[in-house]
Amino acid sequence: MGLILRELARADREAAGSALEASGAFTQEEVAIALGVFDDATADSASDYAAFAAEEDGGLIGYVCGGSTPLTESTWHVYWICVHPRAQGRGVGRALTERFEASVRSRGGRRIVVETSGRPDYERARRFYEAAGYRQVGRIPDFYRPGDDGVVYFKDLA
Amino acid sequence: MGLILRELARADREAAGSALEASGAFTQEEVAIALGVFDDATADSASDYAAFAAEEDGGLIGYVCGGSTPLTESTWHVYWICVHPRAQGRGVGRALTERFEASVRSRGGRRIVVETSGRPDYERARRFYEAAGYRQVGRIPDFYRPGDDGVVYFKDLA
């Protein structure tokens, strides 16, 4: 079966939570916050969001959600991207990112910002963004917690 | 009459709006967003915010509001700071910032992030933060709009 990309929906909440937990990358608090963002992004009134699911064999294997950045003319943020461990390494994250970028572009967005951790165990995430054309434009010392910098990535869609 | 620093309150909304408009630094859309943040910060449930007013002769001449940064252990953001033009150049911004920092520290916060514009007409704002001990840790090209970078400042309170 192939990979299907579609709009994220409220019915995906449980599968999204499972993917977040299975990834092992997030604390319980982070999963709770991610699901709060999920709820905002899949609400009927969520006009400032873009959120997509990756589905395979009828099941959700990953999702991305982001939104337009307040106070900016055409900048968007990726808030969350997650691929279930059983589906990692097969280009699902890349496909989700490209679908997100296409949606941003079609809605007048021109650049995307994403923050991720500077920890050694996030090196894969950082390389993922770099390979997708994002470049580092900032690094906030101890942002998440002592020893855990926040790294700011940026991509110009033009 | 001396400068009084106190908690920001809902009753300050109109004076805060006047200060934002008088400053000339913000578009109508930015003023509307700032007042939305003001409402969040002065709501009864606003436990994750710190917001202070500067008052002189019974009138509000400036305010600062910020909050704890989601997903971080002890990082806070300054969301908005504004001093009425008639009171600028007299240390009101500095006093507000120090009051904010003291509040963050007393609540377990250890570092503060603030974003501002890279435009030439914001040089005074950038120098203000640098003089207050903030250092530039990032610069996002065209963040606000083409030609208007976002500059990220950081201060470690330790």
The 8-class DSSP code of residue B143 comes to E
In whole numbers, what is the pLDDT of chain A averaged over residues? 94
Q: Are B26 and B41 within one domain? A: yes
CA distance B153 to B130: 8
Q: What is the pTM of this model?
A: 0.91
Final residue of a structural domain among B69, B93, B109: B109
Q: Are B121 and B103 within one domain? A: no
Say whether residue B141 is in contact with chain A using an 8 A CB cutoff.
yes
Q: Are B83 and B7 within one domain? A: yes
CA distance B29 to B31: 5
Q: Are B79 and B116 within one domain? A: no
CA distance A29 to A34: 9
Rounded to a whole number of angstroms, the distance from the CA of A91 to the nearest CA of chain B is 27
CA distance B23 to A68: 26
- Predicted local distance difference test score (pLDDT) of residue A44: 87
B43-95: per-residue pLDDT in tens?
Answer: 988 789 999 999 999 999 999 999 999 889 999 999 999 999 999 989 999 99
A12-26: per-residue pLDDT in tens?
Answer: 999 999 999 998 888
- Predicted local distance difference test score (pLDDT) of residue A1: 59
Q: Using an 8 Å Cβ cutoff, are B96 and B62 in contact?
A: yes
B95-141: per-residue pLDDT in tens?
Answer: 999 999 999 999 999 999 999 999 999 999 999 999 999 999 999 99
> Which of B143, B152, B155 has the highest number of chain A CBs within 10 A, making it the mutation to test binding with A?
B143
- Predicted local distance difference test score (pLDDT) of residue B25: 81
| Sequence-separated (6 or more) residues with CB below 8 Å from residue A135 | A153, A154, A155
Q: Which residues of A75-111 are buried (b: 16+ CB within 10 A; e: fewer)?
A: bbbbbbbbbbeebeeeebbebbbebbbebbeeeebbb
| Sequence-separated (6 or more) residues with CB below 8 Å from residue B140 | A75, A113, A137, A138, A152, A154, B149, B150, B151, B152
Q: Are B38 and B60 within one domain? A: yes
Q: For residue B82, give its domain range.
A: 1-109
Q: Are B87 and B16 within one domain? A: yes
Kindly state the tokens that stand for A106: 């079609």
**Domain count within chain B:** 2
Kindly report the length of chain B: 158
CA distance B139 to B122: 14
Instruction: Work out the average pLDDT over A27-49.
Output: 91
Reported ipTM = 0.89
β partners of residue B148: B145
Q: Are B90 and B119 within one domain? A: no
Q: Are B102 and B141 within one domain? A: no
> Which of B38, B68, B142 has the highest number of chain A CBs within 10 A, making it the mutation to test binding with A?
B142
- Asked if A145 lies within 8 A of B74 by C-beta distance, the reply is yes
Residue B8 pLDDT greater than 90, yes or no: yes
Nearest to A55 by CA among A18, A99, A103, A8: A8
Say whether residue A6 is in contact with chain B using an 8 A CB cutoff.
no
Q: Looking at residue B37, which CATH number applies to its domain? A: 3.40.630.30
Q: Are B20 and B92 within one domain? A: yes
Residue A113 pLDDT greater than 80, yes or no: yes
In this prediction, residue A45 has a pLDDT band, given cuts at 50, 70 and 90, of confident
